[in-house]
A and B are shown apart, each in its own frame.
Chain A
Amino acid sequence: MATYSSKSGKFHPLSHVGPICALQSLKTLDDVVLAGEGPVLKAYNVRSGQLIAEKRVFPRNKIHGIKVYENTEPKLVAIFGGRSLSVISFDDIKLPGNPVRKEYGVEDWIFAVEFSCDGSKLYILTAHNVVITVDVSGMTLIDTRNCGWKSILYSGCIRSLKDGRVLICCGTVMDGILVWDLNESKLIYNLKGHEGSIFDVELSESGEYLVSCSDDRSIKVWDLAKGSLLATGWGHGARIWGLDFFDFGDQDEPSFKVLSSSEDCTARVWKYIKGSSELVQEKLLVCHTGRSIWSQCVNDKLKLGFTGGADGKLKIHDLNEESRSGYKNSSWSISKIAGQTNTIFAKGEAIKGYYDFAQGLVTLSSEGKFFVWKDGFTKWEYLFEDKRFTSYSIVTGFEGKRIVVVRNKEGNILMVKFDEQCRQVNSNEIQITDCSKVGNMLTSSTDDRLFILTESLNPTDPLVLQEVDEQTLEVKRTDLLPKPQGEKVSISAVLYDRDTDYLVVGSRFATILLYDLQGEPTLSAYYKNLVKGDTVSGLALASAKKETREIFFYLTMKDCRYYIINIDEDRKMQIVEDNQLQRGFLEGLLFDGNGDFLLYGFKSDVFYIWNETRQFEVARIICGGPHRQWSFHHSIEDGILRYRFIFTRASDLQLIQNGTRDFKEFINSGLHGREVRSMCVMNGKDEAKLLVSGGEDTTVKLSELKSDGSIELLWTQRQHGSGLQSVHPVNDEFVMSSSAREELFLWKVSQEPRSCLCLYRTIKPSSSHPDLRVMDFDTIEIKEQGKAVGFVVATVYSDSHIRIWYFNYEEKSFKMLINGQYKTCCILLTRFLVLRGKLYLMIASTNGHLSVFDVNSDLSRYFKLDGNSLTVLSDKFEVSELDNLIVDQQIHQSSIKALDLRYILDSEIVVVTGGDDNALILTRLIDDGSTISITPISFAPDAAASTITCVNILDQDKVFVASVDQKVRTWDISRYDLKLIDDQYTTVADTGCATVADFGEKGKMVVIGGAGASTCKL
């Protein structure tokens, strides 16, 4: 590994987030999981989530597999990846420091390794179906064997059996699975049944069973005693990459389970019962984003599954939720409830409404019978009957108060308070007299204030707000809240905030009402169509300031959008965050023990809880879909989310409650699920650095870039419809991103109430069916007395168009100033240039040309150039033609893929370009007062073995260059002459973008993006 020295321009790798290609749990050490993250082996504690140890194992190759021999102390760990191999003692992993480890190698790609039963030998299966046997103590070759078939493989597995046999099992690239005996070098079976490449094969420990998966998206179970197909499982929506056995049943009940993981980013649990021809899917785990799950393992003792994704996430799955302490799954039919409570239900009488008050559930039947489900939801008790409360009653309550509130359509409101043993403590009845017919009723409460909000069925009636005393259940105050005149309101969510004394009411028709409860309650403001969608399904407080009466709150819309909204001291509403989930119905939000932002709702036939911060599904309960009576209760106990979902299905009441756990839900949250395409760094609060990244997975992510090089994901935005092209900051508050479908989005970075990105404005596409790619853009700020008021942005397109726009933060609209076309080729990059106080636009294209347009005459009509920013002279904007191409010179043979520049004088710029032609070129751009000339000065034709995709000038002396051959290099440019000073390998494949973060005294850091992201220090 390279040593760190700032003078020589060498790199020191810091941190990496990227595809996790190998995972292994241990049998004798429960709480440890080993992960291969690039070339680094990491050991994590699954209970605390902490990194125990890490060691770089290979100089180049990624770790693709880990095998541990546990019958000896210290345990032996064999690690392989590509053609590289290493065997180390488990205790060595924990040693501090990172000693250079001996890397061994074979001549071919390794698919599997296995220790012999006594641990003295290691068997290595290569991609041409050859097994190399190695003596472990001396790491010397013993022999190589094959079964006569040397076809190329896609997968393999080796098992040392107790009876002395060593079975080799291989997945070929076309249909067949080969099973052979190593000792006899003899083929036993060529199992046919799959179609296409076999991506994983796994042998059971006894050698009795084999499971396989292939391109055909099925999983097959084979009997190895007979060589016959036993069962097939279908379900994954894309290719399946990994399989593991677990949970073998005993003699009486021969069965086992299989964990699978796939390109569809889900993992699934399957059950095989002897004699069945079907592998039955038991569980679906939606856990990764983007491309694929690349690795998995199972800890059979703890019943935990682990998956590692292309997104760099390491997720832990509970494979035995049902046995965790506190877990409940029960179902009660009407007759069962009647039987237990000795009551008689009328024909057709059903449970119509219920409220979960934490210790119990109060239910109301269609004939007015009240019951409580108590004693930890094991027993039912009949409470009373009140015939006034029948079919159209609403049952709700005050959260955390054990008070249930029931109203009928006549306006009778019954309140019943319970104690922790679910005994009735108090009750009271009130009557709404202010509306003719009572419609919806909602509640909101704080520590000491309880409100009931009721709406009349007559739309012109005001809302009725009643404050209730928590002890006596008497009405303390009743207020009539006027509705905005002429507006349709149909209340659906309510939030009372104690600090500001505001009542926020969400309604259908995307309307939000704000009532000021200080003094005589008034409608303070209402906001219509500021949020998109129809019905507000949930409201939750984020933060509020008592002095300024400023309030931040979260809002969910039923049609899957959610918002963070700020109402400032002038009662102006601003959207701080605006995002959406893909499909289904969004019902509400909550925060878990880590402070992660969770959303819940329905999609197709399931109820889900989704961790939006970390991007995985927390729970998925099959309930039949959204159209039913349901209740969702949640709390945080010892830092762990406990939830209970009760729903009605086919008139039965069903309850699912999760248990406790003593392990983490995830270890890493990862980053993009596909290649990172563009990145930039902005300054956050308190010297924090924020990394904004755009991926091929169509998301824009906001992360914190820490000074130790680690990247912590904060927020994910899903509003782009295709893979990202460019992401650049405008300043420390605004950032822009571009992609295909002619998408150009301006985002505002907010730090309150949490760090997130909010879509501020978009440039409208020029066509209703946009298929242009916005390849790149550059901005210049517009300032007024030192304050940023807007910017000018130049955009370049895949059809050779160039446009320049004006944007003002107040008006929030983009105005086109210049429009034109370069040629017909695709423009890849653009930069504004300032030469002798005049503005120019430089572009680089697929034809290898650097071109400069004079845009000064057009832009100087509106703006005055003031240093690096503009001031507005005139706002009588018109669109002019781009016609002043003053330089058009070929520099590279083909596409210029990367470019950076540095001003030498106000009339001279040094431009460094990298191309698809492997070349790095240093060019001088000089304005002699009358003409501008471009002269290539230094030329390195074979600067890389592949396309150069990143060029970042670090300072006056050095430029950082990265290329698709996974090389990062530094070149000296101090004498207008390119000289290579450092050349290193990066584990980031498809190396496509880089950005530099300046940590001041702590120095500069480079972030390299591609398949993952790595940080290194200069």
Chain B
Amino acid sequence: MGKSSKDKRDLYYRRAKEEGWRARSAFKLLQLNEQFDLFSGVTRVVDLCAAPGSWSQVLSKEIFTKDHSPDARIVAVDLQPMSPIDHVTTLQADITHPKTLERIMEIFGGKKADFVCSDGAPDVTGLHDLDEYIQAQLILSALQLATCVLKEGGSFVAKIFRGRDIDLLYSQLGYLFDKVICAKPRASRSSSLESFIVCIGYRPRAGWKPELRPDLSTEEFFQDMGIGRARLHSDLAVDDEERKVAPFIACGDLNSIDSDATYSRGEVGRSLDPVQMPTAPPYKRALERKRGEQPSE
């Protein structure tokens, strides 16, 4: 799809460029906030899988208001480099590594976070079950860090894909939060499986202390938490895991822009360049070879 046709297909894409958001997903967080009032009283925030940074932009704007707390801090973590954003400390780091946790806690002055979010999604292969597994692992990595930094009563928001085993995740999150809701902002296309899990009121598991260790996999981290995850048994028995459906809430005004609709030229106007250009893909060299260029080293 060319630039201008994408503009017409998606007015959010257009508006994101006009308003200076690095990605249209900024509107998703704004609409989630409209519905759940996520940021009131929030001081310390961790934005995971943050690049290119549109959620950090929203967080910066919403938290650093005129009368913000002197303790207000936003940390954005991603494996990819990110250009700077006002009031946001960016860390190019692995969210599963204990060092990352240490650095976040340093920035927060040893105090726990009020809000942890992740808008991360892996590159999809097209094999639905594998993609859903990898996405679930990404959420677990975010949740793993969240259980280490989140204060009691804090909130956790993450992107999910409502595939075949999403009810397992709903059930497991139910052990850790007062409320678990599946929210779909109007800015997220209804033709996409994407939604957001909004978890409110963190309740640390009694008698369980989170500990990030490099020799522990995410699977092992959650193993003793008692949230109903499958375990390895000596007889290789298959666990019948608990499943639960989280209530669904559509957010954003019904009269706001419909991300599935096509808007006419008049409603769209002149096409703009994106705020941030995409980074170099791993197959860059393959493309250069195909075009007969000298591969860059």
Contact = CB atoms under 8 A, between A and B. Distances in A.
Interface residues of A, number: 92
Contact of B262 (A826, A945, A947): A826
Contacts of A291: 126
A76 to B, nearest CB: 16
Given A150-B216, A965-B163, A106 B232 contact: yes
Contact of B248 (A19, A294, A917): A917
Contacts of B219: 107-108, 126, 128
Nearest to B170: A945
Interface stretch (B14-22, B55-63, B150-158, B280-288): B280-288
Given A105-B238, A942-B247, A799 B262 contact: yes
A425 B242 CA distance: 85
B286 A234 contact: yes
Interface string A22-66: 000000000000000000000000000000000000001110100
B275 interface: no
A85 B262 contact: no
Contacts of A916: 184, 190, 250
Contact of A109 (B5, B133, B167, B220): B133
B190 A217 contact: no
Nearest to A263: B126
A266 interface: no
Interface of A is mostly: loop
A141 B233 contact: yes
A197 B249 contact: no
Interface stretch (A681-689, A708-716, A809-817, A889-897): A889-897
A140 B235 contact: yes
A451 B248 CA distance: 74
A134 interface: yes
A965 B223 CA distance: 25
Interface string A557-575: 0000000000000000000
B247 to A, nearest CB: 7
Given A799-B263, A942-B247, A946-B163, A107 B190 contact: no
B65 interface: no
A817 to B, nearest CB: 22
Given A216-B286, A847-B258, A917-B250, A62 B129 contact: yes
A194 B283 CA distance: 10
B203 interface: no
Interface centre among B193, B260, B281 (most CB of A within 10 A): B260
Contact of B236 (A60, A106, A148, A194): A106
B237 A104 contact: yes
A894 B234 contact: no
A830 interface: no
Contact of A21 (B123, B127, B216, B286): B127
A196 B80 CA distance: 12
Given A800-B261, A917-B248, A989-B128, A134 B8 contact: no
A847 B129 contact: no
Contact of B129 (A61, A215, A964): A61
Contacts of B289: 234
Given A771-B262, A989-B128, A894 B286 contact: no
Given A217-B286, A848-B250, A894 B261 contact: no
B166 A965 contact: yes
B126 A918 contact: no
B288 to A, nearest CB: 10
Contacts of A103: 238
B230 interface: yes
B206 interface: no
Contacts of B129: 61-62, 81-82, 989
Interface centre among B126, B234, B235, B243 (most CB of A within 10 A): B126
Interface of B is mostly: loop
Given A150-B216, A772-B262, A894-B184, A945 B166 contact: yes
A946 B162 contact: yes
B186 interface: yes
Given A150-B216, A917-B248, A989-B164, A139 B137 contact: no
Given A945-B162, A964-B162, A846 B260 contact: yes
Contacts of A964: 162-164, 193
Contact of A799 (B134, B162, B261): B261
Contacts of A81: 129
Given A107-B229, A196-B283, A82 B133 contact: yes
Interface string A137-161: 0011100100010101000000000
A140 B234 contact: yes
A134 B249 CA distance: 45
B271 interface: no
A84 B134 CA distance: 16
A376 interface: no
Contacts of B232: 106-107, 132, 141, 144
A174 interface: yes
A899 interface: no
Contacts of B264: 799
B277 interface: no
A829 interface: no
Contacts of A772: 262
B258 A846 contact: yes
Nearest to A985: B164
B143 to A, nearest CB: 15
B231 interface: yes
B79 interface: yes
Nearest to B254: A847
B85 interface: no
A75 interface: no
Interface in A121-142: 126-130, 132, 134, 139-141
Interface in B114-156: 122-123, 125-130, 133-134, 137
B233 A195 contact: no
B36 to A, nearest CB: 15
Interface in A981-1001: 985, 989-990
Contacts of B167: 945, 965
A148 B193 CA distance: 36
Contacts of B184: 894, 916-917
B286 A825 contact: no
A608 to B, nearest CB: 21
A82 B129 CA distance: 8
Contacts of A773: 262
A107 B230 contact: yes
A1011 interface: yes
Given A196-B283, A894-B190, A946-B193, A292 B126 contact: yes
A845 to B, nearest CB: 8
Contacts of B163: 946, 964-966, 989
B69 interface: no
21 contacts: A62-B129, A85-B236, A105-B237, A107-B231, A109-B130, A141-B233, A195-B284, A214-B282, A215-B123, A216-B282, A216-B286, A234-B286, A771-B8, A798-B260, A825-B258, A846-B190, A917-B250, A945-B162, A945-B170, A946-B166, A966-B163
Given A173-B122, A825-B261, 11 more contacts: A139-B236, A196-B281, A216-B285, A234-B289, A237-B290, A799-B262, A799-B264, A824-B261, A918-B182, A964-B193, A965-B163
Interface of B: 5, 8-9, 79, 122-123, 125-130, 133-134, 137, 162-164, 166-167, 170, 182, 184, 186, 190, 193, 214-220, 223, 229-239, 243, 245, 247-250, 254, 258, 260-264, 281-286, 289-290
The 4 A-B residue pairs whose C-beta atoms are closest, nearest first, are A196-B282, A989-B128, A128-B217, A217-B286
Interface of A: 19, 21, 60-62, 64, 81-85, 103-109, 126-130, 132, 134, 139-141, 144, 148, 150, 152, 173-174, 194-197, 199, 214-218, 234, 236-237, 239, 241, 263, 291-292, 294, 310, 769, 771-773, 797-800, 824-826, 828, 846-848, 890, 893-895, 897, 916-919, 941-942, 944-947, 964-967, 985, 989-990, 1011
